[in-house]
Amino acid sequence: MVSVAEMPESTSQSVINQPAPMPERQVERGMIEIEHLDFKYGAHQVLHDVSLNIPARAVTAFIGPSGCGKTTLLRCLNRMNDLIDIAKISGGSIRIEGVDINAPGLDVVDLRRRVGMVFQKSNPFPKSIYDNVAYGLRIAGVTKRTLIDEAVEKSLRSAALWEEVKDRLHVSGYGLSGGQQQRLCIARALAVEPEIVLMDEPCSALDPIATAKVEELIRQLKQEYTIVIVTHNMQQAGRCSDYTGFFYLGRLIEFDATAKIFSNPGQRQTEEYITGRFG
């Protein structure tokens, strides 16, 4: 896929005197556009007409009470909902870097490689730390030992785990603490060099110290990755996100810069939720 943003400026000048072309959408690496998305589990509609643009290389947080559809939306972004038989997108579209990810014939395996995911319950594989991180590379057919070694170290460093595990790369990932396991899962997701990282309540099972580490990590990762994080923790959204979307009963109530949402929300429901008056 050619990124339009990278095209030289001169190309747009050559069309200056011609009839106005279709307004060209700026396609940036890692950007996500969601338009009028409807989503159903069987007959039960869980997302209603959700539209938002998730900017690239920033942290976007989805907040809202349980059952509001924020995790469902997150799992739409790498088509994880395909695993659920009755789940179905009934309207609207999701485009990542301008490409409709639900188009027939789209390579879901490639999509998932480019859109990584960290789950609510940390799920390291019952393999060594090294093998956990190398898993995605080996799946992708990388066999060269030096390449894998490098990627494992780089990913573990990115996930701020390298110093803690560099002497025991070949012991089971299950031996790590909860916070380390979650950072291992982040390292594993980073190893395949995705453009977007989805995080589904990554800190819900972690203590405050581990949470602080993961949050610090999220702030660093946005230099290179588009990050979408679902969280129940309002302070967390406030601390580490740039944009926040508030969901309620399957609808996107408000989406704006985090500072704006938390200081001056446009909707009464948002204000009531973030001040803890309901939800």
Partner 1 sequence: MISAPANARRVRLLQGGVFWLFRLATYFILACATYIFLDIGIKGSRTVFTSKPPFINLPFLTEPPQTLYVFDYEGKKETLSDRQFRAWKLEHPGVEVEATSIAYSAGGIWPCIVGTALLVIGSMILALGIGISSAIYLSEYSRNGPLIRLVRVAILNLAGVPSIVFGLFGFGLFVIFFGWNVSLIAGWFTLGLMVLPAIITASEESLRAVPQGLREGSLALGASKWQTIRKNVLPYALPGILTSSILGIARVAGETAPIMFTAAYAMKDEMPWQVAKFTDFIFQGVMALPYHIYVVSSKIPQNEYTEGVQYGGAFVFLFLVMLIALTSIILRERSRSRLSW
Question: Which stretch, 88-96, 111-119, 202-210, 252-260, contacts partner 1 (CB under 8 A)?
Answer: 111-119
Enumerate residues 70-99 that contact partner 1 by CB under 8 A.
78, 80, 83, 85
The least distance separating partner 1 from the CB of residue 263, rounded to whole angstroms, comes to 35
Cβ 250 vs Cβ 69: under 8 Å? yes
99 or 139, CB closer to partner 1?
Answer: 139
Q: Of residues 93, 123, 204, 267, which one binds partner 1 by CB under 8 A?
A: 123
119 near partner 1, judged by CB under 8 A:
yes
63 or 80, CB closer to partner 1?
Answer: 80
Alpha carbon 173 to its chain centroid, in Å, reads 23
214 near partner 1, judged by CB under 8 A:
no
Instruction: Return the closest-CA partner of residue 38 out of 85, 79, 84, 89.
Output: 89
Class of residue 263 by CB neighbours under 10 A (exposed 0-12, middle 13-18, buried 19+): exposed
Please calculate the CA angle 230-232-236 and round it to the nearest 5 degrees. Answer: 80
Question: Which stretch, 23-31, 43-51, 107-115, 228-236, contacts partner 1 (CB under 8 A)?
Answer: 107-115
In whole angstroms, what is the distance from residue 49 CA to residue 93 CA?
A: 10
The least distance separating partner 1 from the CB of residue 113, rounded to whole angstroms, comes to 3
Enumerate residues 227-266 that contact partner 1 by CB under 8 A.
none
Tokens of 83: 């695993």
180 near partner 1, judged by CB under 8 A:
no
In whole angstroms, what is the distance from residue 86 CA to residue 214 CA?
A: 34
Enumerate residues 30-59 that contact partner 1 by CB under 8 A.
none
Read off φ and ψ for residue 120, nearest 5 degrees: -60, -50
41 or 119, CB closer to partner 1?
Answer: 119
In whole angstroms, what is the distance from residue 192 CA to residue 176 CA?
A: 22
Q: Of residues 3, 45, 102, 172, which one binds partner 1 by CB under 8 A?
A: 172
Question: Which stretch, 13-21, 132-140, 144-152, 269-277, contacts partner 1 (CB under 8 A)?
Answer: 132-140
49 or 82, CB closer to partner 1?
Answer: 82
In whole angstroms, what is the distance from residue 117 CA to residue 237 CA?
A: 18
166 or 170, CB closer to partner 1?
Answer: 170
139 near partner 1, judged by CB under 8 A:
yes
- Pairing, β 59-63 against β 32-41: unpaired
182 near partner 1, judged by CB under 8 A:
no
Give the DSSP letter of residue 69.
Answer: S
Point out which residues pair with 243 in neighbouring strands. Answer: 60, 257
In whole angstroms, what is the distance from residue 49 CA to residue 34 CA?
A: 10
What residue ranges bind partner 1 (CB under 8 A)? 78, 80, 83, 85, 109-110, 112-114, 116-117, 119, 121, 123-126, 135-136, 139-140, 172, 174, 185, 188-189, 192
